[in-house]
C-alpha cells in the first residue's frame, strides 16, 4: 500500500468509528435523557405516563407520611401546583418538609409520581439549583436570606 492509501484507510476507519459514535450519541440524547419538570409543568404539559422525568420543588408542609413502613409518601409543590410522590427507600439525611428536593422517576396511571431516587441538599443552606431557579421564575421565592444562602453554597451529590 502506498502512503496515500494507508492514510485514506486510516481516515476511513476513523470516520466510521466517529460516525457510529455520533449516531450513538444522538440516539442516546433523544432517548435517554430526563427532563426537569416542576409540578406546574406537569399540570400544564400532560407528561406521559411512565416517562422518566426529574421532579423538583419543595416538600409540602405536613405532607410527609411515613406510616406505611418503608414506602414513604409526600407531596412536592412549587406553591402553585402540587403532586403526590411515592418513594420506597431511605430518604436523604437532610430531607425535611418545606425544603427543596429533586426526585427522579415517573408518573403512574393514578397521577402519583413514583420516585426511585430522591436528592435533597447535602448542606443546610442548599437548594437544588433547578428548584431554586424554577421557584424564582414563578415568583414564589420570597425569603431573600435563604435565596442568598442558596446562591452562596451548594452541594448535592448526583
Partner 1 sequence: MIIEIGHFALILALVVAAVQSVFPVWGAVKSDHRLMGMAPSLAVAMFLLTCVAFAALTWAYLTSDFSLLNTYQNSHSDKPIIYKISGVWGNHEGSILLWVLILVLFGALVAVFSRNIPQRLRAATLGTQGWVSFAFLLFVVVASNPFGRIEPAPMQGTGLNPMLQDVGLAIHPPILYVGYVGFSIVFAFAAAALILGKLDAAWARWVRPWILVSWIFLTLGIAMGSYWAYYELGWGGWWFWDPVENASFMPWLTGTALLHSAIVMERRDALKVWTVFLALLTFSLSLLGTFLVRSGVLTSVHAFAVDPARGLFILAILLIFVGGSLTLFAWRAPLLRQGGLFSPISREGSLVLNNLFLTTACAAVFVGTLYPLILEAFSGDKISVGAPFFNLTFGPIMVPVLILMPFGQLLAWKRGDLWGVSQRLTLAFAISVIATIMLVWFMGASSTSIMTALGFGLAFWAIFGSLWEIVDRSQILKVGFARAVPRIMGFTPTVWSTVLGHAGLGFTVLGIVTTMAFESERVQVMHPGETLEQNGYHVTYERSWTQPGPNYDELVSRYTLRKGGDVVGVMEPSKRAYRASGRPMSETSIATFGFSQVYFATGDNDENGGIVTRIYFKPLITLIWIGTLIMSLGGTLALFDRRLRVGAPVTARRRKSKAEGAIPVAASPAE
Between 109 and 134, CB nearer to partner 1? 134
Binding stretches for partner 1 (CB under 8 A)? 1, 3, 6, 9-10, 13-14, 17-18, 21, 24-25, 27-29, 31-36, 54, 66-67, 69-70, 88-91, 93-94, 104, 122-124, 126, 128-130, 151-158
CA atoms within 13 A on the CB side of 77: 17
Smallest separation (angstroms) from partner 1 to the CB of 60: 19
Between 43 and 64, CB nearer to partner 1? 64
**Under the phi-then-psi rule, with left for phi > 0, alpha for psi from -120 to 50, and beta for the rest, what region is 98?**
left
| Beta bridge partner(s), residue 76 | 59, 83
Between 34 and 44, CB nearer to partner 1? 34
Between 1 and 142, CB nearer to partner 1? 1
How many whole angstroms separate alpha carbon 158 and alpha carbon 148?
22
Nearest by Cα to 136 from 96, 54, 82, 78: 78
Amino acid at each position: 500500500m502506498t502512503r496515500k492509501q494507508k492514510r485514506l484507510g486510516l481516515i476511513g476507519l476513523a470516520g466510521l468509528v466517529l460516525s457510529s459514535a455520533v449516531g450513538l450519541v444522538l440516539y442516546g440524547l433523544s432517548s435517554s435523557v430526563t427532563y426537569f419538570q416542576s409540578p406546574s409543568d406537569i399540570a400544564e404539559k400532560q407528561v406521559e405516563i411512565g416517562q422518566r422525568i426529574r421532579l423538583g420543588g419543595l416538600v409540602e408542609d405536613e405532607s410527609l407520611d411515613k406510616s406505611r413502613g418503608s414506602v414513604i409518601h409526600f407531596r412536592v409543590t412549587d406553591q402553585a401546583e402540587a403532586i403526590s410522590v411515592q418513594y420506597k427507600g431511605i430518604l436523604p439525611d437532610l430531607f425535611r418538609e418545606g425544603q427543596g428536593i429533586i426526585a427522579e422517576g415517573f408518573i403512574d396511571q393514578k397521577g402519583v409520581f413514583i420516585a426511585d431516587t430522591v436528592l435533597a441538599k447535602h448542606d443546610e443552606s442548599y437548594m437544588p439549583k433547578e428548584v431554586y431557579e424554577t421557584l424564582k421564575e414563578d415568583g414564589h421565592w420570597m425569603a431573600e436570606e435563604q435565596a442568598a444562602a442558596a446562591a452562596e453554597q451548594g452541594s448535592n451529590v448526583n
